[in-house]
Chains A and B, each alone.
Chain A
Amino acid sequence: IPSVSNIVPESCLLIVVGLLVGGLIKGVGEKPPILKSNIFFLFLLPPIILDAGYFLPLRQFTENLGTILIFAVVGTLWNAFFLGGLMYAVCQLGGPGLNHIGLLANLLFGSIISAVDPVAVLAVFEEIHINELLHILVFGESLLNDAVTVVLYHLFEEFANFEQVTIIDIILGFLSFFVVSLGGVFVGVIYGVIAAFTSRFTSHIRVIEPLFVFLYSYMAYLSAELFHLSGIMALIASGVVMRPYVEANISHKSHTTIKYFLKMWSSVSETLIFIFLGVSTVAGNHYWNWTFVISTLLFCLIARVLGVLVLTWFINKFRIVKLTPKDQFIIAYGGLRGAIAFSLCYLLDYKHFGMRDMFLTAIITVIFFTVFVQGMTIRPLVDLLAVKKKQETKRSINEEIHTQFLDHLLTGIEDICGHYGHHHWKDKLNRFNKKYVKKCLIAGERSKEPQLIAFYHKMEMKQAIELVESGGIGKIPSAVSTVSIQNINPKTLPVARILPALSKDKEEEIRKILRNNLQKTRQRLRSYNRHTLVADPYEEAWNQMLLRRQKARQLEQKMNNYLTVPAHKLDSPTMSRARIGSDPLAYEPKADSENLPIITIDPASPQSPESVDLMNEEPKGCSGLPPSPEEDEEGLVMRVKEPSSPGTDDVFTPGTGDSPSNQRMLRCLSDPGPRPEPEEGEPFIPKGQ
């Protein structure tokens, strides 16, 4: 049974709500508020654009940049002039009511209404899950045509005051397009670089990291708008430029914060915009002129279709993946108008443009038509035409390796042919980035981290987090395959019992290392500060694990002198996950598990005094029992008591029994933290093997 939300896109429903609210207010006798342009441009539009720009899929965007630019620039220009010209003709023929509207006014009207609106496109296209190519084409066009709209709008607005428009003015206007667009991008890039540079130094004040992203982006937008440059392009440019460096610098939590705040703000803005559109429709003064409105609507559609057809024919000569007629139809049909047109028209001065109300009415009609009719019908049309939908593929490490390999291969072939194609330039840009830019903008070691490693770490972290969160319910995710390291590399010898073979001074070494590690954590947590975040168990554990892995590796190198059997190193979570997956019963709690040395740890909490409990022995005086074979594999084991729910940070109640879920994957997430009684004197490894 199709529900309302399946048929009607959200934007339509919101406009209807706005209409109802407006009607209600009017019915009560009050004057409903109209969407003021400065509120729209200063507060409602930037979050949506920033959200779009920050999460722009850069690879597809740059691959299709030529196409997008042609649609955005040439397409919008064509729309504006075609529509303006035809409307002028209509006005001249339209009788007394329309005769007085001059050519410039009509051209201005054309330029306002011709731009495809990013808000409307986002709202509708998000729901139909169309394939990435079409999505990026229409959406990219809606973003980049802002420069054209800004130039044309200001140009015609100024020209309307002139007595005469000379050729010089037209040429200057043409040049100003480049100034506006490139200037906007330039402003955005500057702020993006500043933001990236700032984020390099925020490791001590993680809480306000997200603020810098929002702040600098908004300043980019305001600065650009101040000089009548394209604010949208500045916003997009700053988001795109700052993102790779900022993400390398900020903490995982800040990244999540940024993501959720952007999504939240953009959702709120979008909702408000559409509701306000509805309310403004009820509130505004309207002047309905049948000829004008109907012809506007008609010519808008015709202009869009013609423009797309002609441009695609031209573009397909240069594209490898040609745009099929189906694609062209969707692109033409997806040319939705929205609130930007409305606000731009609202900004017009009554003195110079007395017919503003008529323009407003026509614009609202077109907006309603595109959003309601086209918005509602695009989904069934997409299904009817069997347009390719978005594939939800998870990016795998194999694909990453292959893609990078292919990139290098194609660059190499281009070099061999002596053909400086776009792989060559992309490679040069990457090398420049790696050599100079990354060193300035990324803090510490991560500036040298190659993309493959960063990707792999991100994936491992994600898997570890997933596993912990699902481990809390005690289930292994079914997606975990049973493939383990044994399956692909049978030469790895079965693990030896390291612990029994350790000599006394090795024991001492291990103890010392652990103590050092834990001591360091203790010192770090000494002072409580409002700005100190409660330690993120995942991130802290991750760092600790990496540190421990390093130490264990050093230890292993020393141990190799003593042992004849290769030691089993600490695995990455991926491999241990795979191993556990292959033997789900291997980690059931054993009857004698209480005799095993257990380190109970909890994440840092500001309240409890700082000390570490190295041993939790119950009953005391464990002795004699050698660790069971499965425990050996784990090498240096730290058992963790899990928090009672994934969200809480500091829940460790002593005495909670070891549940199977605890012992499972959580060994790689251990976070030393403060505990009441220091008991480090105890040996870590039971004597008497």
Chain B
Amino acid sequence: SPGTSTPVTSLFSSTPTVTSEQIEHLHRRFKQLSRDQLTIRKENFDSIPDLEFNPIRGKIVHAFFDKRNLRQESDGLADEINFEDFLTIMSYFRPIEMNMDEEQLDRFRKEKLKFLFHMYDSDHDGKITLQEYRNVVEELLSGNPHLEKESARSIADGAMMEAASICVGQMGPDQVYEGITFEDFLKMWQGIDIETKMHVRFLNMETIAHCY
């Protein structure tokens, strides 16, 4: 990893995630967001001004409290998260490391895609239904208030049909495609290198601007 400090493994059961420099910075940020409390709630995220413009703001905040992402056995949403949970979520966005072998790389990729899958699958039932997909597209287009719901819906329908034809192939008129399962989701993402795209650079520690 690009930092000069050694990776810290103590907090996590999985492979080394973030370096101690990065952890320090994130801790400072956490304290800022939580106003020096030990835990953050959903409301604390409202204090980030730039997040207002983000169309999928709701889903992002939701993902921080999703118990599936926090690697907890139970399901549903947590009310508040502590710093360790915050780091767990951040670790999904770590950059790829050069010395990973095939198996590690595959696991790395699946982890990230699982995170994304949970964001799409809002009712936690293990598949992305048509309604959920429509919801995703509507949110993506929510920055354009003059658009009709019709457009978002037809895009989502078209995308769903495309997904069905990729994952199942030819379907007879009375077969029903229930929804996108995680395996199908993996198939859809084959063309995009998620392991190189889904990361946040922590390199320039000095130039990081604080919120206020």
Q: Which residues does A use to contact B, with CB under 8 Å?
A: 317-318, 320-322, 391, 393, 396-399, 401-406, 408-424, 427, 431, 448, 450, 452-453, 456, 481-490, 553, 572, 574-575, 578, 582-583
Closest to B167 in A: A483
- What is the chain B residue whose CB lies nearest that of A482? B170
A398 lies within 8 A of B209 (CB)? no
For B162-182 the 0/1 string (1 means CB < 8 A from A) is: 111110111111111100000
- B161 CB contact (under 8 Å) in A413, A578, A583: A578
Q: Please tell me if B186 contacts chain A, counting CB pairs below 8 Å.
A: no
**B201 located at the interface, meaning its Cβ lies under 8 Å from any Cβ of chain A in the complex:** yes
**B119 x A487 contact (CB < 8 A):** no
List B contacts of A317 (CB < 8 A): 2
Of all chain A residues, which has the CB nearest B163?
Answer: A398
B70: interface (CB < 8 Å): no
B29 at the interface (CB under 8 A from A): yes
Check if B173 sits within 8 Å of A487, measured CB to CB. Answer: yes
**Could you tell me the distance in whole angstroms from the C-beta of A409 to the nearest C-beta in chain B?**
6
Chain B, 3-35, contact with A by CB distance < 8 Å: what is the 0/1 string?
000000000000000000000011001001100
Q: Of all chain A residues, which has the CB nearest B165?
A: A481
A431 CA / B144 CA spacing, docked (Å): 12
Query: What are some 18 contacts across the A-B interface (CB < 8 A)?
Result: A318-B203, A397-B155, A402-B188, A404-B140, A408-B55, A408-B60, A409-B60, A416-B45, A416-B48, A416-B51, A419-B208, A452-B140, A456-B155, A483-B164, A486-B173, A489-B157, A582-B171, A583-B173
Return chain B residues, CB-CB under 8 Å to A410. Answer: 93, 198, 200
Given that A320-B95, A431-B53 are known contacts, is A418 also in contact with B177, CB under 8 Å in the complex? Answer: no
* Contacts known (A320-B95, A402-B192); A412 close to B57, Cβ less than 8 A: yes
Contacts of B130 in A (CB 8 A): 488-489
B102 interface hit (Cβ, 8 Å): no
A417 contacts across to B, CB distance below 8 A = 25-26, 29, 90, 200, 208
Task: Give Cα A113 to B154, complex, Å.
Answer: 56
Closest Cβ–Cβ distance, residue B136 to chain A (whole Å):
7
Contact, CB under 8 Å: B209 / A397: no
Pick the contact of B171 from A424, A431, A487, A553 — CB < 8 Å? A487
* Cβ-defined partner of A399 (8 Å) among B192, B202, B209: B192
**Complex: A423 Cα to B50 Cα, angstroms:** 12
Cα distance, A402 to B2, chains bound together (Å): 28
When the two chains form their complex, are residues B51 and A412 in contact, meaning their CB atoms are under 8 A apart? Answer: yes
Q: Does B159 contact A (CB under 8 A)?
A: yes
B177 proximity list for chain A (CB < 8 A): 483, 487-488
Contact partners of B56 in chain A: CB under 8 A? 405, 408-409, 412
Q: Is there an interface contact between B159 and A397, defined as CB atoms closer than 8 Å?
A: yes
Task: Indicate if the CB atoms of B173 and A572 lie closer than 8 Å.
Answer: no
CA distance A411 to B140 in the complex (A): 13
Q: A484-B173, A487-B161, A488-B130 are contacts. A448–B191 as well, Cβ < 8 Å?
A: no
> When each residue 82-119 of chain B gets 1 if its CB lies under 8 Å from chain A and 0 otherwise, what string results?
00000000100101101000000000000000001001
Beta-carbon contact of A415 and B48 below 8 Å: yes
Q: Is B60 a contact of A482 with CB atoms below 8 Å?
A: no
Shortest beta-carbon distance, A322 to chain B, in Å? 6
Q: What is the distance, in angstroms, from B150's C-beta to the closest C-beta of chain A?
A: 7
A405–B118 Cα distance when bound, in Å, is 13
Q: Which residues of A contact B174 (CB under 8 A)?
A: 486
Whole-angstrom distance between the Cβ of B13 and the nearest chain A Cβ = 22
> Contact: A397 with B176, CB < 8 Å?
no
> Given the known A-B contacts A318-B203, A404-B140, A418-B29, are A572 and B154 also in contact in the complex, defined by CB atoms under 8 Å?
yes
Decide if B171 touches A418 in the complex (CB within 8 Å): no
Cα(A403)–Cα(B197), bound, Å: 10
Q: Is the CB of A453 within 8 A of B158?
A: no
Are B53's CB and A398's CB within 8 A?
Answer: no
Q: Kindly identify which residue among B54, B98, B154, B202 contacts A411, using a CB–CB cutoff of 8 Å.
A: B54
Least CB distance, A562 to chain B, in whole angstroms: 21
Q: At the interface, yes or no: B76 with Cβ under 8 Å from chain A?
A: no
3 closest A-B pairs by CB = A481-B165, A412-B60, A415-B50
Question: Interface SS of chain A: helix, strand, loop or mixed?
Answer: helix
The smallest C-beta distance from B69 to any residue of chain A, in angstroms, reads 13
Chain B residues, Cβ within 8 Å of A485: 157, 161
A174–B81 CA distance with the chains assembled, in angstroms? 54
Which A residue's beta carbon lies closest to that of B203? A318
Residue of A nearest to B210 (CB): A418
Asked if A398 and B159 make an inter-chain contact with CB atoms under 8 angstroms apart, the answer reads: yes
Residue B78 CB within 8 A of the other chain: no
A527–chain B nearest beta-carbon distance, Å:
34
- Cβ-defined contact, B155 with A453, below 8 A: yes
Confirm or deny: B147 has a beta carbon within 8 angstroms of a beta carbon on chain A.
yes
Contacts of A406 in B (CB 8 A): 116, 192, 194, 197-198
Q: Is A418 in contact with B164, judged by CB distance below 8 angstroms?
A: no
Q: Which residues of A contact B146 (CB under 8 A)?
A: 448
Q: Which of B32, B54, B147, B196 contacts A408 (CB 8 A)?
A: B54
Contact A320 B50 (CB under 8 A): no
Chain A: CB-nearest residue to B172: A482
Contact A401 B171 (CB under 8 A): no
| A629 CB → nearest B CB, Å | 14
Which residues from chain A contact B126 at a C-beta distance below 8 Å? none
Contact call B200/A448, Cβ cutoff below 8 A: no
In the complex, which residues of chain B have a beta carbon less than 8 angstroms from the beta carbon of A456?
Answer: 151, 154-155, 158
Residue in B closest to A322 when the chains form the complex, CB atoms: B98
A399 to B159 Cα, complex, angstroms: 9
Please name all residues of chain A whose beta carbon is closer than 8 Å to the beta carbon of B165 when the two chains form the complex. Answer: 481, 483
A403 proximity list for chain B (CB < 8 A): 192
Interchain CB contact (< 8 A) of B141 among A398, A450, A487, A553: A450
Tell me if A419 and B54 are in contact (CB < 8 A). Answer: no
Q: Do A393 and B160 touch (CB < 8 A)?
A: no
CA distance A397 to B172 in the complex (A): 23
A427 contact set on B, CB distance < 8 A:
53
- Contact among B45, B157, B159 for A401, CB-based, below 8 A: B159
Q: Which residues of A contact B158 (CB under 8 A)?
A: 397, 456, 572, 574-575
Contacts A415-B51, A420-B208, A482-B170 given; does A487 touch B175 at CB 8 Å: yes
CB distance from B42 to the nearest CB of A (A): 12
Check A412 against B54 for contact (C-beta < 8 Å). yes
Assembled-state Cα–Cα distance A317/B1 (Å): 10
Nearest residue (CB) in A for B176 is A490
Residues of B within 8 A of A409 (CB): 56, 60, 116, 119, 198
Residues of the A chain whose Cβ atoms lie less than 8 Å from the Cβ of B164? 481, 483, 487-488
B188 to chain A, nearest CB (A): 5
State the Cβ distance, A444 to closest chain B Cβ, in Å. 13
The answer to whether A414 touches B196 (Cβ under 8 A) is no
CA distance A488 to B25 in the complex (A): 46
Q: Which residue of B173, B192, B203, B211 is within 8 Å of A582 (Cβ)?
A: B173
**Sample of 11 further A-B pairs with CB below 8 A, known A402-B116, A415-B54, A456-B154:** A397-B159, A406-B197, A408-B56, A413-B93, A415-B51, A416-B33, A418-B209, A419-B208, A431-B53, A450-B141, A482-B172
Given A397-B155, A406-B197, is A488 in contact with B116 using a C-beta cutoff of 8 Å? no
* The one of B55, B143, B144, B171 that contacts A483, using a Cβ cutoff of 8 Å: B171
Contact between B54 and A452, CB atoms less than 8 A apart:
no
Q: Is the beta-carbon distance between A398 and B188 smaller than 8 angstroms? A: yes
Chain B residues lying within 8 Å of A452, measured Cβ to Cβ, are: 137, 140-141, 155
Rounded to whole Å, the gap between the CB of B206 and the closest CB of chain A is 12
What's the least CB distance linking B6 to chain A, in Å?
A: 18
> Are B136 and A483 closer than 8 Å at their CB atoms?
no
**Closest residue to B193 on the A side, CB-wise?**
A321
Q: Are B141 and A453 in contact (CB under 8 A)?
A: yes
Q: Is B199 an interface residue (CB 8 A)?
A: yes
- By CB atoms of chain A within 10 A, which of B32, B191, B207 has the most? B191
Nearest opposing residue in chain B for A419, CB measure:
B208
In contact, A488 and B173 (Cβ under 8 angstroms): no
* Complex interface: chain A residues within 8 A of B198 (CB): 406, 409-410
